[in-house]
Amino acid sequence: MANDYHADINLDVRGLSCPLPVIRTRKALDELGSGEILNVLSSDVTSTNEYHALANSLGLELLDSNVDQGVLKIWLRKP
């Protein structure tokens, strides 16, 4: 499913094993300004819950999460 989000940062963590994708995502979020969007591509499709927990714990807006052809795509907006 396509969306109309424009990512300010694109993070490709495909091929990395847990917990590295979430750790790298956390570091990338530090580079975002308020209202900016991070797009994460991960081959660890089982980590969806970890991204939801990260968004909740940091007060991020989880705009979208889906799996397309074995790639988890997450869109997060920093408050």
Active site amino acids: 18
- What gap in Å lies between CA 71 and CA 12, rounded to an integer? 10
| Strand, helix or coil for residue 22 | helix
Signed CA dihedral, 27, 28, 29, 31: sign only:
positive
